[in-house]
Structure 1
Amino acid sequence: MPKKPRAAKPNEKGNIVKVHPDRGGTSEDKPLFSFYLLQSSFNIKACSKDEKAQLANRIHLLSGLPWKNLKTSPRHGAGYEKISRDSIKVAIPQEITEDVKHFIAFRCFGKAPMIGYRQEQTFHAIWLDPKFAVYDH
């Protein structure tokens, strides 16, 4: 049974509390996907109809596999690759705190990556990168 999401609490400036890195979840969990932090310059609006369909199919495939399988699968298959924070060439959203040291990239259509990070069971997508501009490949 999936864990209930924690309620967001405002900080002293009235903003939502900053996002934190993986503090739990197990390798047996299957990923949940969040597009809440998807950046406007790298979002689904820029995708073709075919790319959107491929992305939906990829998410469906990935959400059926436990994290342990995703970790050991090839990065151009159902797996992912780790990307260090200092390899990111675009602005990192301010909601993502410095304690997030690395990101992960799943291939979402063709070899184009969907980049984000894992927090417990959830993969938070931040960038869809069909032009390969977010990090050096």
Structure 2
Amino acid sequence: MGGKIRGHAAQGSARIQAAAQATGKPAQLSYPVFCLRHLQTGHDIEDLLADDQAALIKRFRTLSKMEWGQIEQAPRHGLGKENIAQTSIKRALPGVVTKDVKLWALRYANNKPMVGFRNGAVFHVLWIDHSFDVYNH
């Protein structure tokens, strides 16, 4: 079973890379893909109220229609991103975050942040900061 998942992921990555090459767009102009695998306890989708869950999904959809370059240029309290220093995080950093990882906040309902990092086209969400308690604001 594990081999199928790895093989499937590799095949999917190849298809995404081929699609990017076919459009002639560099990776930084690609659209975002959201990964929720590394969500931390207490800051997961299940910890949100129903209205915030809906707002989060709508924000994923809105951002998915944009290119990374547009997100990087948009206002940080709108559809853009905000750089967050690792030293500002009030929670233990998960093992997937190494010293060289640059953390970002993207906003959803009422400027509530989701904090994570970008790796290529994928934004890995680590915390959905529904209580504004993950980092020093």
Partner of 1:40: 41
Alignment of 1:117-128 (within 5 A): 117-128=117-128
Counterpart Cα distance in 2 of 1:96 and 1:106:
17
Q: Report the structure, 1 or 2, having the larger helix content.
A: 2
2:71 counterpart of 1:70:
yes
**One-letter amino acid matched to 1:118:** R
- Residue correspondences, number: 116
Q: Give the alignment's TM-score, normalised by structure 1.
A: 0.80
Q: Give the alignment's TM-score, normalised by structure 2.
A: 0.80
2:29 counterpart SS class: coil
Task: Among all aligned residue pairs of Structure 1 and Structure 2, give the percentage whose two residues are the same amino acid.
Answer: 35
Q: CA deviation at 1:28?
A: 1.1
If you compute each CA radius of gyration, which structure gives the higher value, 1 or 2? 2
Q: CA deviation at 1:26?
A: 2.2
Structure 1 stretches of 4+ moved >6 Å: none
CA contact (8 A) 2:28 2:120 kept: no
**One-letter amino acid matched to 2:122:** T
Q: CA RMSD in A?
A: 1.4
Counterpart Cα distance in 2 of 1:85 and 1:49:
29
Partner of 1:2: 16
Alignment gaps of 5+ in structure 1: 5-24
CA contact (8 A) 2:78 2:111 kept: no
Partner of 2:12: none
**One-letter amino acid matched to 2:28:** S
Alignment gaps of 5+ in structure 2: 1-14, 19-25
1:51 counterpart SS class: helix
